Structure 1
Amino acid sequence: MLKILVLYYSQNGSVLNLAREMAKGIESVEGCEAVLRTVPKISTVCEQVQADIPSSGAPYATMDDLRECAALALGSPTRFGNMAAAMKYFLDGSSGVWLSGDLIGKPAVVFTSTSTMHGGQESTLLTMMLPLLHQGMMVLGVPFSQSDMSHTQTGGTPYGASHVAGANGNPVLSVEEKKVAFSQGVRLAQTARQLEMGKQH
């Protein structure tokens, strides 16, 4: 089984729900397993402020999760057009993985959530790609062959799946948001599988 890491940070459940839909897409592809992981909150001085083991939900990610994955889906809510500090803090600690080259040539996707329609989704997705490119990963977007991309009134961008939560932070995904996230998971898993099959020939 190819282990595909779905690494996310979520405070109100929106990014978690996108991660779950992406995991469903991944696991619809034969031979692929979604591994959900999250990261702990940090303080304003960038120190972890939660226990090493979460009380519920997905376990916290380790550098070994990055090293061992066949592909990566990375999700974070938007913070002024960028990823949340907790996710940035985790990625900033991945220089050892960069030195070893363990992520080189592996496919990756990104996803996000905002309160407003124009709340920085695309800039967040683009900036989340930067550390993945430094790691040598192959970043995949969402093609417009995914028909929901053309008529969504909520989330969904060519750079990655997304959700518009509204002022009250509603984590419930629209039909289109679910389909875009699912299809992105499928595309990631299919690409990882094709790359793996190529290694065997």
Structure 2
Amino acid sequence: MRVPDWIDDTRSSYDTVAVSYADMLRGRLAEEPFQRGILGLFVELVRGRGPVADVGCGPGRITGFLAEAGLDVFGVDLSPGMVAVARRDFPGLRFEVGSMTGLQVADGSLGGVLAWFSLIHVPDEAVPGVLAEFRRVLAPGGVVMIGFHAGEGVRHKTEGYGGHRMNVLVHLRSAARVAGWLAEAGFTVEGELVHRPDPRTEGAFVFAHR
């Protein structure tokens, strides 16, 4: 089966920026109380439910935060370059190369799935399949949390993280739209949060459970 162009483009783009991306974001959470609080809520909701997958984990900084909070967590990322950096920076944690379109995880085996600004590169037509995959791997009562750039429209990102060339589409969506997709996938939506760190930037976070 042919791999969709958006998957190839996302993989190669993040392979290119992996090292600089990790360097630029290292320690950033220490300066972001809202994001730490949102992640802390996810930790409280999922604690004791079983293993957690950080899907689209990048260089592993969020995976590391969740592990420090006491979760049994592992990271999955499409980019081998990102996974290599994550393994370097967090040698005590497990990281795997994989796609959220087909996770190599047994049915009903996870207590939580986190997609922290990783669904943003998935086109609308592929989102239902990804959410169905999240539901498949979660145990009953398992929690999913999705963080993303809020808004409408699509941006073409051609460079980033130190000026490296990239070729990815960034899909902006409203919290209500993502919540609706989750409900259609069979989840019970528990909460929607919006964070505005400055007047030009808006992030949204949707919590749901199977």
TM-score bracket, normalised by the shorter chain, equals 0.3 to 0.5
Provide the TM-score with structure 1 as the length reference.
Answer: 0.34
Provide the TM-score with structure 2 as the length reference.
Answer: 0.33
| Structure with higher RCO (Cα < 8 A, 6+ apart) | 1
Structure in which a larger fraction of residues adopt strand: 2
